[in-house]
Chain A
Amino acid sequence: MLEPERGFTPPTLRLTVAQYRTIVAHCYDGLPDEACGLLAGPVEADGEPTGVVTSVYPCTNADASARTYTVESRELLRATSDAQSRHEDLVAVWHSHTHSDAYPSDTDVSQALAPTWIYVLVSLKHAEPVLRAYRIRDGAVGECEVVLADS
């Protein structure tokens, strides 16, 4: 976990039930491969997400792989432009782990480039999906609280 003395306060990710269902359904639709997508929402002046999500963008896994994912680049551009046109920004990426826990893999940690992003993992390992969220900074992983609301 990240140390509080590093000035790190993980944001709380706030999803509606409908957004949660969209994310999880896209993960199941992607089987047997990993699925991925992006979340947009408002950000503070320093680039920190408020944690509120206003748009969910299910994306294509350009790797078409059960072990890795890459968000298809044109979909990434479109989601970025769409969010910025509303004076918001991309705040999170989500992807599924088909046979492992909802925790960032070594690959996830080494390829996490955005210090202000929330990295959402959906594990499909068990009968019930598990969704958890993290910050990844300088190789350190800190968990973010996830709150589901009706609307």
Chain B
Amino acid sequence: MPVEVRLPTLLRSQAGGAATISADGVTVGDVFRTLIAEHPGLADSLIDETGQLHRFVNVYRNDDDIRYLDQLDTKLADRDVISILPAVAGG
């Protein structure tokens, strides 16, 4: 089902400059696989070496952080909005 993916400024250059991308998928993980197939430069920013969500990125289904849902298995409905934001952290 089609969803809108909103990319942060930081990742747009790895996706041809687009701020939003339309993608299909039943789960967030599906959508990420589609995105990465089209824009391989996004892979290292989104997924870690074990295939899990990268710890320095926050992903939301509408207003909900998918870490508190089902992570990459979070299910999507038609016209959901996925927002990707880099984690803002330091010491």
Residues of A within 8 A of B (CB): 34, 36, 38, 47, 63, 67-71, 73-74, 76-77, 80-81, 89, 93, 95, 104-108, 111-116, 119
Is A111 touching B9 in the complex (CB atoms < 8 A)?
Answer: no
Is B83 touching A111 in the complex (CB atoms < 8 A)?
Answer: no
Min distance, Cβ B83 to any Cβ of chain A, angstroms: 6
Interface centre among A36, A67, A74, A89 (most CB of B within 10 A): A74
Q: How many A-B residue pairs have CB under 8 A?
A: 67
Q: Is the interface of A mostly helix, strand, loop or mixed?
A: mixed
Q: Mark B1-44, 1 if CB is under 8 A from A, else 0.
A: 00000001110000000000000000000000000000000000
Is B90 touching A111 in the complex (CB atoms < 8 A)?
Answer: yes
Is B58 touching A114 in the complex (CB atoms < 8 A)?
Answer: no
Residues of B within 8 A of A (CB): 8-10, 56, 58, 60, 63, 65, 67, 83, 85-91
Is A114 touching B86 in the complex (CB atoms < 8 A)?
Answer: yes
Is B63 touching A68 in the complex (CB atoms < 8 A)?
Answer: no
Is B88 touching A70 in the complex (CB atoms < 8 A)?
Answer: yes
Is B9 touching A89 in the complex (CB atoms < 8 A)?
Answer: yes
Task: Indicate which residue in B67, B83, B86, B91 contacts A113 across the interface (CB closer than 8 Å).
Answer: B86
Which residues of the other chain, A, contact B8 by a CB distance below 8 angstroms?
Answer: 80
Is B91 touching A76 in the complex (CB atoms < 8 A)?
Answer: no
Interface centre among B9, B58, B67, B91 (most CB of A within 10 A): B91
Is A68 touching B89 in the complex (CB atoms < 8 A)?
Answer: yes
